[in-house]
Amino acid sequence: MEQEKRDATYSLKKIIQNINALATPGKTTGEIADAIVQGVYENVNCQHVFLSRYDVESETFRALSWRSSVTPMDVVLEKKFMGASYLSNQPVIVNDLSQFNHRLRPETARQGFMSLVGIPLVSGKELLGVLEAFGDEEDQFNDFDVDILTLYANQATAAIEKADLVRECGYWAAEKGLLLEAIDMDYGSIGSFLYKAGETLSSMLVVDGIAVFGLDEEVEGSPLQEVLAKGFSMADIGRLKTLFTPKYLANSDILNSSEGTRIIKQPLKTAGSTETKLLYIVPVVHKQDLYGIIVFFWKQLSKEINTTSLEALIKRITDDVSRVLGCKHLYNDIQRMSFSDSVTGLANRRLFDYVIVREMKRVEQAGGAFSLLMVDIDFFKLINDTYGHLSGDSILQQFGQVLKEVFRSNDISARYGGEEFAVILPNTDAANATMLAEQFREKLLRHKFQLGSQAVNITVSIGGTSYTKELTSQRLTAASIVKVADMALYQAKQQRNSTRFVNYG
């Protein structure tokens, strides 16, 4: 008897040493789960062992590891045998499972399982999972088996808690890193920030596919333009861009951000395949302004991951991105008001002064040339006196639109003051600048400006000059360049409806 006690004590010490050894640094959660299941199989009088993780969000048990002839399936709480007991953090001991065959999965009942010990894995009051051992005979488990299974269950709980904590710390670090990067980014880089947010989520979530779309209302047919796309085919991207049409966005409550970030789950059948992806669609919304949409999927989400924690992270990151983009949008609005003329929407004098100095420095450093046109509307005082100042403002608005249409996207058109405008033409010599000026003047001759039911014609006088690398040695100022262009404009106004070009010197 004494020898049996000594053997039992030695055996218990050995088991405890093996259990403690499971916590060796460097092991993954999966490796620890496999070792726990193997330990239970070897040291508990059982024929089947299952270690499952419980996902609170989906109320589903998912097997992490098992040793059995039966391959476990995901089981929702309401169909899990003794699931209510596990949810109440109560251990389960059943000595005769045949009495419960009507509650067991058919494939499990057919295996002839007769005994069960199930130990819930509990952190605080939260159910993390369950460790279960099944036997092929009635009353197969004794108190010693239950105690050993409980020890292994405690180690499984510790491993899952540690893995969750490490994952949460990684999430936190990545989230804060993204916010710090946002502080350092150019306030105008909304697309760049969406791209970075997508890259961060892709890395953190280890997704199989991610697509990030920014809102672009200037693109006809779809407001979405991809900023980042990984793991999606071109056909899938095209379908995603049409998924959220302007009409859908207008009629849905997707812009309702009163309850924070929403996660929409929607299946998408892959083009030319029978495969269907479960998409996680996350609108980036701040105060009912939609900035973009993030879409991602997993082919198979790791069973080690807590879905509740994962979705909380996604919402947190998206809320952060939404707030940052809201601030960037506000900054851009302020910037537009600071550098735009309120009547025409063109650059104002402040922005003009900045750009002309920038262009002078570019020529000085890289060579080439830029040209400056000064444009004055002929007889504008007569328009104001005849039709009134509101009609005069309407002419200025329409005139600004014609300037945008005629000149190139990299040219800077500005309202210099009153009815006088300036156009900076980068990388443009005198000959090409004269040609552009004449094209603009001739277009105005054919253009009808609307004043209510009336249509009027206007003409302009244009003066221009160019700044070249050869002039850099004369240390000219921006005011000097404007003065020369003004001289050319004065000559043009002597004749009206004409263009004059004057070179410095």
Annotation says 419 is catalytic: yes
CA distance 424 to 444: 19
For residue 375 the two structure tokens come to 């444009």
Determine the 3-state secondary structure of 487 from DSSP. helix
First to last CA, the chain: 118
Distance (Å) of CA 289 to CA 243, 336, 337, 476: 18, 18, 19, 47
What is the spatial distance between Cα 494 and Cα 491, in angstroms, rounded to a whole number?
5
Of the residues 199, 405, 419, 442, only one is catalytic, namely 419
Question: 212 has which bridge partners?
Answer: 228, 294
Q: Which residues contact 142 (CB under 8 A, 6 or more apart)?
A: 45
Strand partners, 210: 230, 296
> Rg for the chain (alpha carbons), in Å?
36
Cα–Cα distance measured from residue 354 to residue 459, given in angstroms and rounded to the nearest whole number: 29
Instruction: Pull the structure tokens for residue 96.
Output: 């005769």
Q: Which of 200, 214, 176, 179 is nearest to 329 (CA)?
A: 214
Tell me the catalytic residues: 419
